[in-house]
Chain A
């Protein structure tokens, strides 16, 4: 299957890990340079270290660590709109299997005659 780890993935992982270790090394160097009073050198090491860390972290997140998410299939809330042709009453209820537009709906709560299904739709996204 496509998710199998390949040699290319291992090589890329190794390179990114090397870059990450290197960046951490630069950060350690920055710290020791700062303690030694070399502020310019410390700033340089810090800048290089952070850049390397950001680059390797981003690449790692985008490639090796990226896993296919299980797509969640949407279950929509579908409504059935019913209309009483005799008294004009309108009612809305969740869709039931067997409902269809212009088909028979429930009885009208006002005049007890069967209503007609006027529309079936889902709300929003």
Chain B
């Protein structure tokens, strides 16, 4: 047996034979090994930083490719509809469009402020698209808006990761680089999802997030519809001898509508609503199956929280119970073309809503059903 502990040189000399050439070679090897050992002690961390930096660099490169691809798709889509010169520069300008969150130092009234800023942003973006593509129809306008938003998110993602990469490279700070390296897998997942969303918005294909909207559409098909709030429609149908008021975003353009405002108006104008049922796509946890349907209570709606706040407020004011039905899916599924499993989940959710109506309400009751989500590629 050989000992690699103290006296490594002696051991090497012993094993490498008594010849002079073997001695010299052994000494050279020892010297190099000691040098590598010292290097690992003195520069080990730097080497680790370098490996992480390289990882971030590769991730950054992937995001850049996705961003460039999305930008190209947007330009090509707009070129089909418009022959306006300088389209590329206009697209670049729109991709960098931002919104500033209002201050939360005094949180009172912040929901209204956020809503106001988001409305202004949306209005401005639509105006920009209309000036690029004059005469564009409403459904296509909403799709172009979604397309630009997905491209804009990818662009922002690229710029933020690039910032941390360059900052890390400049400062060689382990903590800066470590943070960027740690969040990179999640960022890449989101970037891939946005990349798929760009194609869905280009072609007008329903996305996973539209599951709730599709459930509502199934209930309101064939009934007379009317616009109740901006980009939001409602219809009244009869289900199991109950009156069902169904609300969803106006399709088939890529819209989320204003379900909060719609629920506020309906509950405010009639006092006979006995229950609110909300159906939405929900982010699944790892290990859960796509398209699984779960039930609960509360306002099933995502986003920044403006619509959720409104629905919760009005439900509390009129003391109407809020029931929630969720169709589970991953973030990638939510913004990429709808998977078959989600469609199967929609069928299950329709049955679950019917059961909920039978179990929680009486004959003759009025129930409000809100199908939440982006209604891209889904009519009514």
Interface size on A, residues (CB 8 A): 46
Cα A39 to Cα B286 with chains together (Å): 53
Residues of B close to A29: CB separation below 8 A: 16, 22, 25
Of the candidates B62, B66, B221, the one whose C-beta lies within 8 Å of that of A102 is B221
What is the minimal beta-carbon distance from A37 to any residue of chain B, in angstroms?
Answer: 10
| 27 contacting pairs across A/B (C-beta < 8 A) | A2-B60, A3-B57, A8-B46, A8-B50, A15-B39, A18-B32, A25-B29, A33-B16, A33-B17, A63-B50, A68-B57, A68-B58, A68-B61, A71-B65, A71-B66, A71-B192, A73-B195, A76-B196, A95-B205, A100-B204, A100-B206, A101-B206, A101-B252, A120-B206, A121-B337, A121-B338, A123-B340
Cα A31 to Cα B203 with chains together (Å): 65
**A19 interface residue (CB < 8 Å to B):** yes
How many CB-defined contacts (below 8 Å) exist between A and B?
123
What is the minimal beta-carbon distance from A94 to any residue of chain B, in angstroms?
Answer: 11
Cα A100 to Cα B195 with chains together (Å): 21
Cα A70 to Cα B192 with chains together (Å): 13
**B242 interface residue (CB < 8 Å to A):** no
Q: A40-B15, A76-B336 are in contact. Are A103 and B379 (CB under 8 A)?
A: yes
Contact B204 A98 (CB under 8 A): yes
Contact B379 A100 (CB under 8 A): yes
**B165 interface residue (CB < 8 Å to A):** yes
What is the minimal beta-carbon distance from A42 to any residue of chain B, in angstroms?
Answer: 9
What sequence of 0s and 1s flags, for each residue 18-54 of chain A, a beta carbon within 8 Å of any chain B beta carbon?
1100100110010001001010110011000000000
**B81 interface residue (CB < 8 Å to A):** no
**A93 interface residue (CB < 8 Å to B):** no
Contact B199 A73 (CB under 8 A): yes
Residues of A close to B58: CB separation below 8 A: 66-68
**A97 interface residue (CB < 8 Å to B):** yes
Of the candidates A12, A74, A101, A103, the one whose C-beta lies within 8 Å of that of B47 is A12
Cα A106 to Cα B61 with chains together (Å): 44
Residues of A close to B22: CB separation below 8 A: 29
Of the candidates A15, A25, A44, A68, the one whose C-beta lies within 8 Å of that of B15 is A44
Cα A45 to Cα B36 with chains together (Å): 18
What sequence of 0s and 1s flags, for each residue 59-101 of chain B, a beta carbon within 8 Å of any chain A beta carbon?
0111001100100000000000000000000000000000000
**B175 interface residue (CB < 8 Å to A):** no
Residue of B nearest to A69 (CB): B62
- Within 1-58 of B, Cβ neighbours of A (below 8 Å) are at 2, 15-17, 22, 25, 29, 32-33, 36, 39, 46-47, 50-51, 54, 57-58
Most buried by A among B51, B206, B217, B339: B206
**B371 interface residue (CB < 8 Å to A):** no
What is the minimal beta-carbon distance from B341 to any residue of chain A, in angstroms?
Answer: 9
